[in-house]
Amino acid sequence: MQLRYTFRIEPGPSQRIALGRAFGCARVVYNDALRAREDARREGLPFPKTGDLSKLLITDAKHRSDRAWLREVSTVVLQQSLRDLDAAYRNFFDGLNGKRPRMGAPRFKSKRDNRQAIRFTANARWSITPGGKLRLPKIGDIKVRWSRSLPSTPSSATVVKDASGRYFASFVVQTDALGVLPETMGETGIDLGLTHFAVLSDGRKIASPKFFRRAERKLRKAQQNLSRKAKGSSNRKKAVVKVARAHARIADARRDFHHKLSTAIIRENQAVHVEDLPVKGLARTRLAKSVHDAGWSAFVSMLEYKASLYGRTLTRVDRFFPSSQLCSTCGLKDGPKPLDLREWTCSGCGSVHDRDVNAARNIRTEGSKVAAGQAETQNARGAQVRPVLVPAPRATRTSVRKKQEPTRSCQPTGWVQAGIPSL
């Protein structure tokens, strides 16, 4: 299986210039290829193939005076830029055909984009030196902040520059499964919310860190400072970086919290059941800022790939399941309840329920039924019952050594600190 590991890198001044040159050349080739295909579409001509575009926009273009500077970067970087355009078109057409969620057509890239990236494959002859540095063709040896060793030789390396000016190296490695965790009898249902980020069926409540809300005042001052700078000035560029760094700190803290909590839940439970929340719909309400701050979708995605990675089971319960209306003791449907009602008494059996804990228990019960039904269906068809291992998503395999001390709110409330492993 393939896994992606990301580490922080520290290029020197000359290497930053070389990386900027590589970013620019890859962007120009991407835009030239996109323009050629759009012109062919408007004129009704056949769709240009990647091989023809590579010869026209890379090989032949290097001998033209207006594109002679393409020789200053590795050819593999330019070829991979064409592969990225192919992937963008493929995703666009798959969306039109209903094979994946619909997305827009490929767009032209700009040097002012928040994210700049180039990719080196094995043909580029990049390597990791004995001293632990990343050696890239026509760029040099770059210092890497290794936080762990790679399980095997990487097949590709991607260098990324984010909006805050930080550089990262991302490696794709081919490796065996990380090993199925020992089976446990634990099973939990999770009710996600805003006051409490997650409430588990055993009664534990994880407080919502509210990373954006806590940093909102400082971020507002940075944005006000940016709005007062003259457009095109050097001070405005510095202010833009400060705003980007403020957002990056919030995103890093949220991602760290999601990783620690999801890893702890997966290690403790054999089966995890969550509710399939309509995040896009909730993001259009007055709670939009709090919903985005919680990051439910990213957290559930981490649970999903880690469950597959370690041999656990994750079940999504239908969003229309009335988890807050059912009594987890007798199963009586007691009707809808206002959001300000946090505790209620069942009219059938008289049990007193905490609203969120009761919902988590109902999600666990319903998830167990759904998982049992899926297992019986797959077993009848002769398929494998246990979920297969899948590669981790790109954005969730980040490993960066942090210099600042973690705050108390970064740790899930109610958990023993030593018992929360970091993935």
356: annotated active-site residue: yes
86 carries an active-site annotation: no
Of the candidates 242, 167, 237, the residue with the CA atom closest to the CA atom of residue 15? 167
> What tokens does 11 get?
């290029």
Which residues neighbour 110 within 8 Å (Cβ) at sequence distance 6 or greater? 27
Cα–Cα distance, 62 to 419 (Å, whole number): 57
DSSP characters over 26-45: HHHHHHHHHHHHHHHHHHTP
Helix H or strand E segment including 225? helix 211-227
Any idea how long the chain is? 423
Catalytic residue from among 32, 256, 356, 366: 356
CA-based torsion, 55, 56, 61, 67: positive or negative: negative
DSSP 257: H
Residue 191 a catalytic site member: yes
The residue among 217, 207, 263, 222 whose CA lies nearest residue 423 is: 263
> Which residues is 161 bridged to in the sheet?
116, 167
Q: Which of 275, 293, 304, 366 is catalytic?
A: 275
Region for residue 311 given its phi and psi (left: phi exceeds 0; alpha: psi -120 to 50; beta: otherwise): left
Q: Which two tokens stand for residue 63?
A: 């001998």
From the candidates 191, 268, 304, 366, give the one annotated as an active-site residue: 191
The secondary element (H helix, E strand) that includes residue 171 is: strand 167-174
Which residue numbers are catalytic? 191, 275, 356
